A and B are shown apart, each in its own frame.
Chain A
Amino acid sequence: GESVGLHLPTLSVQEGDNSIINCAYSNSASDYFIWYKQESGKGPQFIIDIRSNMDKRQGQRVTVLLNKTVKHLSLQIAATQPGDSAVYFCAETGTGFQKLVFGTGTRLLVSP
Chain B
Amino acid sequence: DVKVTQSSRYLVKRTGEKVFLECVQDMDHENMFWYRQDPGLGLRLIYFSYDVKMKEKGDIPEGYSVSREKKERFSLILESASTNQTSMYLCASSPGPLNRWDTEAFFGQGTRLTVV
Question: Mask for A18-55, Cβ within 8 A of B = 1, else 0?
Answer: 00000000000001101000000111111001010000
Cα–Cα, bound, A76→B99 (Å):
23
Contact of A100 with B by CB under 8 A: yes
* One of B11-19, B62-70, B76-84, B104-112 at the interface: B104-112
**What is the size, in residues, of chain B's interface with A at 8 Å between Cβ atoms?**
28
Query: Is the CB–CB distance between B98 and A42 below 8 Å?
Result: no
- Tell whether, in the assembled complex, residue A93 and residue B105 are in contact, meaning their CB atoms are under 8 Å apart: no
Partner of B42, one of A41, A43, A49, A103: A103
CA of A14 to CA of B72, assembled, Å: 42
- In the bound assembly, the distance between CA atoms of A106 and B106 in angstroms comes to 20
Residue in B45, B101, B106, B110 whose beta carbon sits within 8 Å of that of A100 in the complex: B45
Count residues of A near B (Cβ-Cβ below 8 Å).
23
B107 close to A100 (CB less than 8 A):
no
In the complex, the answer to whether B98 meets A97 with C-beta atoms within 8 Å is yes
Given A44-B107, A98-B48, decide whether A89 and B101 contact each other with a Cβ distance below 8 A. no
Nearest residue (CB) in B for A50 is B101
- Per-position contact with A for B37-55: 1 when CB-CB < 8 Å, else 0? 0001111110010100000
A37 CA to B69 CA, complexed, in Å? 31
Q: Are B108 and A43 in contact (CB under 8 A)?
A: yes
**Does B28 belong to the interface (CB within 8 Å)?**
no
Q: How many Å lie between the Cα of A35 and that of B99 in the bound state? A: 13
Question: Which residues on the B side are within 8 Å of A98 (C-beta)?
Answer: 31, 33, 48, 50, 56, 97-99
Q: Determine if B43 and A89 form an interchain contact, defined as CB atoms under 8 angstroms apart.
A: yes
Minimum CB–CB distance for B23 against chain A, Å: 11
